[in-house]
Chains A and B, each alone.
Chain A
Amino acid sequence: MTVAETTGGVVLRRALRRQRARVAAGIALLCTHQATEALVPVAIGVIIDRAVATGDVSALLLSLAGLAALFTVLAFAYRAGARLAFAAVEHEAHATRVEIVSSALDPRGRRSGMRDGELLSVTASDAELSALVVRVAGLTAAALTAIVVAAVALLVVDIPLGLGVLIGVPLLVVALQRMAPLLTRRSTSQQEALAATTALAVDLVSGLRVLRGIGAQDHAARRYAGASRHALDVTLRAATTKGLHLGLTTTVNGLFLATVAGVAGWLALQGQLTIGELVAVVGLAQFIAEPVQTLGYCVQLFAMARASAGRVARVLGAAPVVQPGDAGPPAPSPSRLALDGVSYAGLDDVSLRVRAGEILGVLAYDPSEAEALVALLAGRVPRADHQGTVRVDGVPADELHIDAARAVVLVEQHDVALFEGTLRANLSAGASVDDEVLRAAVRAAAAEDVLAAHPHGFDRLLTERGANLSGGQRQRIGLARALVADPPVLVLHNPTTAVDAVTEGLLATRLAEARGAGTRGTVLITTSPALLRITDRVAVIDRGRIVAEGPHELLLASDARYREETLR
């Protein structure tokens, strides 16, 4: 689908088109089911009329056989139809989900303007809700069929009575539907309050040890009780509204039934209706409310699907963040990575050069300026958003194909992201790498403890986001992963903040050995003196500008501010 014209409507139409075979067959079967449902009260009337009232055995056998046939068609039509419709929704939701994830993980980044959490909720629930348009189509068709069948049956029995029922029922249902928005609103806020209460409980209990350490359990319990009471209030409001709606529905349906029964009874008394017809009319009058309610529900469902489809479209149609060029991998140059007069997000006319074989330290006094530098070096900043030029091996970064740029420069985030899977899979990041290479990288990152402490070695399983490792272990595994990738230019951002001093010293020495040789360039954006010590040169950024540049020891000796900032 083209990026420019993605709207909620497009997403919905596409869902129906993609699932058209299932939708068409499902609709036919669901319509059959609803038609037979409508005939059940009619059948009861007929059996009372022809068999029970007459005492005719053959009529009874015949009608019971007919009833069996009716139920068989009814049951199988529902089974097959509902399965097809459900499968259509599930397949469509799956396809949409995969598209959303593909788009969200677009190598160029996408400007959907959504945070991770929002994106997650779009993949989890909006993908499914937008696919419900298929269900809307099926339910609407089936409900209309049921109404038509019931209408024909009523009109065959008695035209004025049939017309009365046909006009009266929709009017009543529409009137009752007027409460629907209120009901939806109340139950939405109820669900939100309950979800918030649950999330709070999970959060508090997950941090239980921390709470106990500082003696905050009582306060936490009070906070939860407050949330729980709020949820109770909201729930009771919702329950009262629901009860009111239920009561009103009961009354209105009952009054309508009384009217129909009265009129039909009078007609039967006049001899215009048989007893069976009386029973059938009353049964149909009760039945017909169901499909009409379904139609009302479909309207709400459609509104929901459309809103979700709008959010899905926002993700699928989002424009890429960066517009990479198509130049192939550049030839290694003496200046591997360079910023020429770059201004961006606090950085002001910064020029930097990472030479082949060099380890460059960058100390930004303001953490947000370090973040800006990381974003620039990672190629996440579109050309239009910054001034100056970022060059990779002498070539402007935005002229390079994304694969070419990434093959040269690798940025390992401060906030190391590990993934569920084996240690090996995490370290090799999808590449096929020899265990010896992994072992060397783990050693260089001083992360042998992660390996040694576990019987399965590289096959050790990491849970989601590496949650079964400590923060320091995660950081070191992230570093080892970067060393396994062995990129021509490696950018590390505060890689040792959760690592203890002894290990950090070891790590720094080994890192220098691993990266210091050959034509590779390394950038350490850090405040750690242990890491700055292994650099060839440190550039100091203060208020967006490079204020000093030189060897760590020299800066320590000559610059009081530098000394203070790197003191430990």
Chain B
Amino acid sequence: MTSEPITRHLLPTATGRQTWAALRTELALLPGLSAVAGTLLIAAAATGLVAPWVLGRLVDDVIAGTDTPRVIAWAGVIAGAAVLAGLLTAVGAAVAARLGETVLARLRERVLDRALHLPSATLERAGTGDLVARAGDDVAVVTNVIATSGPAFLGALLSVVLTAAGLFALDWRLGIAGLVAAPAYAVALRWYLKRSVPYYARERVATGERAQATAEALRGAATVRAYRMEDAHVARIAERSGVARDLSLEIFGLYTRFGLRINRSEFVGLAAVLLAGFLLVRGDLATVGAATTAALYFHRLFNPIGLLLFESDSVLQAGASLARLVGVTTLPDTAAPAGTEPTRHDRGAPAALEVTVGQHRYDDGPVVLRDIGLRLAPGERVALVGASGAGKSTLAGIIAGIIVPTDGAVTLRGVPLTQLGEHRLRREIALISQEVHVFAGPLADDLRLADPDATDAEIAAALDLVGATEWVRTLPDGLTTAVGRVGGSSPRPRPSSSPWPASSSPIRPSRSSTRPPPRRAARARATSTAPQWRPPRAVPR
């Protein structure tokens, strides 16, 4: 990914309402699964309330001087609830994951599909930077949050809501006492979110810059050594690593201050519940058991509330990413193979490809092409020559139907390209530009991108044509050699509230492809053996 700032955000971002609507639509597609998942999760959280309630009753019974069988019965109830809760939790987690992950997988596939089939005009204006960020970073953020924090967050949320309901069911006055903590928690959360989100963005930038400096220096190690710049590069990496470290320390400082505020809210809530219990018991309005249950309920809330608060920022970020993803899915779909087939007798037409451009300009920019008339007969090879900036690439784009001229038309055997449809068009006209991208994976996969069913013989013939046969032979694993770079997008590292380690995701090993040039002689051969059985093509340099 380039580190140049993306100034042109031309891809849509969904509003909160649209995002929710899109999620509801997805869930509605799986009605049975949604209902079962919801029921199981709520039931699992509800069974968790049984134990503290039973303990409260046990306290009351002990004070009242009950008999042993009753104590055993209460223990039995706790045990039964435990077995049930475990069952519901296990099945609920599995079903909920199936629901959430399926919806997510469908979403990410649709995002990529839309991104790949973005209308040419949109792509040319928006550039690929934002699109890459959405298909990569945003998908990774949402996926990671759903896979790692999602189930715990949902469980904690349900357990907080149900425990609060349990407190009220126990005694409404104890419930209100518990709610005293809510404003304290809310203030702490607001305080934290205001600070943490921009901080994490800065940390991401800092770790990104550190990784960049490291990757550059290691990949260019030969050059670094040749120019004896070792110390300068180590110093630069050390400086950036230091910046990232200091930022992490600051963030952790923020995080612990948030923890302090949470502890304070816990104390406020627990003290309020105990005080209320004291007053109620003294006024004979509640039993000691009820007060005990309330205190235990509240103590039980410490962990889930902490989890909700500490995860809130990543959930917010996932929401923002989700809105950007849903935004991409609202783009029109051009994937459907539609359009006119050039008919058989079209082939009798005098020119296979005819280009007329009155003029072309990008948006409101200056005119870049004017008065172009070009005919390509079948089997004909045409070279476009011009100084840089003359408009060769623009014309190539127009010929290939990637760019629609402001004033003009391109016809293939008499059929305007605009009527062919994207799918058909791409099968008829290929554009190989100076933009080179080696897709990561086995070389053979890269070669089969445009034609997945190409035989080994066809692959070999193509390689031979461009004079790459010998080069492929020198590769360690021949056609199965991994080529291209794999740069995993890293979810942001963060200090964790659970004891799980904060670690940045490893950068995946990659193999750089140092590709020697096709040999000149072979290149010369290749141009003179251009196949006659394909439509003519224009080759801009």
Contact = CB atoms under 8 A, between A and B. Distances in A.
- Which 8 A-B pairs have CB atoms at the shortest separation, nearest pair first? A254-B82, A215-B426, A247-B90, A417-B220, A251-B86, A243-B93, A262-B75, A207-B437
B237 interface: yes
B512 interface: yes
B58 A79 contact: no
Given A117-B511, A121-B509, A565-B519, A261 B402 contact: no
Interface string A480-513: 0100010000000010010010000000000000
Interface string B208-244: 0001111111111111111111101110011001100
A202 B1 contact: yes
B46 to A, nearest CB: 13
Given A117-B510, A261-B78, A78 B259 contact: yes
Interface stretch (A144-152, A165-173, A382-390, A405-413): A405-413
A51 B228 contact: no
Nearest to A44: B295
B151 A242 contact: yes
Contacts of A240: 93-94, 97
B85 A251 contact: yes
Interface string B181-215: 00000000000000000000000000000011111
Interface residues of A, number: 166
Given A128-B504, A564-B521, A117 B509 contact: yes
Which of B4, B86, B140 has the most chain A CB within a 10 Å cutoff? B86
B483 to A, nearest CB: 11
A218 B509 contact: no
A294 B499 contact: yes
A463 interface: yes
A468 B2 CA distance: 8
Interface string B294-307: 01100100000000
B112 A221 contact: yes
A120 B220 CA distance: 12
Given A55-B282, A75-B263, A124-B507, A250 B89 contact: yes
B500 to A, nearest CB: 8
B452 interface: yes
B256 interface: yes
Contact of A465 (B115, B219, B249): B219
Interface stretch (A5-13, A265-273, A392-400, A540-548): A265-273
B228 A247 contact: no
B143 interface: yes
Interface string B76-92: 10110111011111111
Given A225-B109, A243-B94, A120 B507 contact: yes
Contact of A261 (B75, B225, B519): B75
Nearest to A253: B82
A305 to B, nearest CB: 9
Given A195-B489, A202-B487, 16 more contacts: A74-B263, A97-B241, A105-B225, A195-B505, A202-B489, A205-B128, A214-B426, A214-B450, A216-B450, A232-B102, A239-B93, A243-B93, A301-B501, A410-B226, A494-B516, A564-B521
30 contacts: A48-B291, A60-B274, A68-B267, A78-B256, A90-B249, A102-B230, A116-B218, A123-B214, A125-B503, A125-B506, A194-B144, A196-B486, A198-B143, A198-B489, A210-B435, A214-B426, A220-B449, A221-B109, A239-B93, A243-B90, A258-B79, A265-B75, A266-B68, A269-B66, A275-B288, A366-B470, A406-B226, A412-B226, A413-B223, A464-B212
A366 B98 CA distance: 55
Interface string A129-146: 100100100010000000
Interface residues of B, number: 171
Contacts of B55: 261, 279, 282
Contacts of B112: 201, 204-205, 221, 224-225, 228
A481 B83 CA distance: 72
A458 interface: no
A440 interface: no
Given A98-B234, A247-B93, A430-B232, A201 B139 contact: yes
A109 interface: yes
B436 A210 contact: yes
Contact of A258 (B82, B221, B511): B82
Interface stretch (B129-137, B160-168, B309-317, B376-384): B129-137
